[in-house]
Amino acid sequence: MIPRLDAQALVAGDADALAQMRIAVEEVGFATVYNTKFTSARMRFVLAAYRAFFDLPNEVKDRVNMARTGSNRGWGAPQSEQVDPDANPDYKEVFDCGFTLPEGDARAALSVYASNHWPKEPAGFETVIRAYYTQALEVARGILRGIAMSIGSDADFFEDKFDCPMALLRGNYYPPRPDWAGDKDFGIGAHTDYGCLTLLATDGQPGLEVQARDCGDWLPVQAPPGEFIINFGEMLEMWTEGRVVATLHRVKGGAEERISVPLFFNPNVETNVAPLGSSKLIRAGDHLTKRYAETYVHLQGIG
Ligand SMILES: O=C(O)CCC(=O)C(=O)O
Ligand SMILES: [Fe+2]
């Protein structure tokens, strides 16, 4: 069973919500979350902006193709990412944007803080997506407070490690599963997310499957617009000495097209995500750069 959490109760430190979060982080690796500040109408508006972008002809989207850059901002065409080395490149397409550092911050030279590539059309796309980015970061910060409390840490343990987060906001567009697709073809192949917390909005279409940790079965997970799916990534698993679990998930895809919008809430580049209490150093930026270089086809071999 995937826990279903009340976001506001969680942020307020409500004991039941924290107990459920603890099950989510330690046993399941996933949860769904309701009662955030996002209404279903607001989320439909954001999803519609992504849909309008993905509906453009490929020649138009190609003007912001990330493949011509050394980073991951802009459009990623179908087959531009291979999250599972044992599967074929994913048949989804994506649009990625990231964090803008304060003026003059020297970290702007790093690819994990690369400048965004905004398309000129659809009209208003940049404004809508930037506003969502800012609001989604706030929701993710609140959930991270809840995670910290649920595992017995200070509520603000993560705060200063996420003030300039390498947070990546993605729109995923899954066309109907192509008729040529075989056993090794996925909308997105089986993977764990690279960072700490993923806040995932979807258009309500089914498609996401999560691998049950006990029996290995693939369980469907769904949330309507206005509710979110959350999961925990590799950095948080390392950082908490395996107490928080990063769980495999995938999208095989079905007869209907589908849009999902994950916010990958990754910490500041310099954060040490080595197991707490160990004397090791694992820089968050190094882990993220390595995983990007493994999975984005145009970055393979870089990093
Ligand atoms: O589309 C989904 O539901 C999941 C997407 C996902 O796992 C990802 O983008 O990392
Ligand atoms: Fe994922």
Ligand 1 first shell, C-beta below 6 A: 170, 172, 188, 193, 200, 202, 208, 249, 251, 260, 262
**For 105-159, what is each residue's pLDDT tens digit?**
999 999 999 999 999 999 999 999 999 999 999 999 999 999 999 999 999 999 9
Note the pLDDT of residue 259: 98
**What DSSP character marks residue 184?**
T
Which residues lie at CB < 5 A from ion ligand 2?
193
Beta-sheet pairing, 4-6 with 30-34: parallel
The count of other CB atoms within 10 Å of the CB of residue 228 is 27
CA dihedral 267, 103, 53, 248 (to 10 degrees): -10
Q: Which residues of 154-182 are buried (b: 16+ CB within 10 A; e: fewer)?
A: eeeebeebbebbbbbbbbbbbeebeeeee
Cα–Cα distance measured from residue 157 to residue 155, given in angstroms and rounded to the nearest whole number: 6
For residue 32, give the 3-state DSSP assignment.
Answer: strand
Q: What's 34's domain CATH number?
A: 2.60.120.330
Could you tell me the distance, in angstroms and rounded to a whole number, from the CA of residue 231 to the centre of ligand 2? 8
Question: What is the pTM for the complete model shown?
Answer: 0.98
**Does pLDDT of 39 surpass 80?**
yes
Note the pLDDT of residue 242: 96
Measure CA 27 to chain center: 20
Cα–Cα distance measured from residue 6 to residue 227, given in angstroms and rounded to the nearest whole number: 10
**For 160-219, what is each residue's pLDDT tens digit?**
999 999 999 999 999 999 999 999 999 999 999 999 999 999 999 999 999 999 899 999
**What DSSP character marks residue 102?**
P
Interval 265-281 mean pLDDT:
97
**Does pLDDT of 281 surpass 70?**
yes
Count structural domains, the chain.
1
**For 245-268, what is each residue's pLDDT tens digit?**
999 999 999 999 999 999 999 999
User: Domain span at residue 169?
Assistant: 4-299
Note the pLDDT of residue 302: 61
Cα–Cα distance measured from residue 257 to residue 93, given in angstroms and rounded to the nearest whole number: 12
Q: What is the CA radius of gyration of the chain?
A: 18
Ligand 1, closest atom to CA 249?
Answer: 7
The DSSP element (H or E) to which 104 belongs, if any, is: none
Note the pLDDT of residue 13: 97
Could you tell me the distance, in angstroms and rounded to a whole number, from the CA of residue 232 to the centre of ligand 1? 12
Note the pLDDT of residue 1: 85
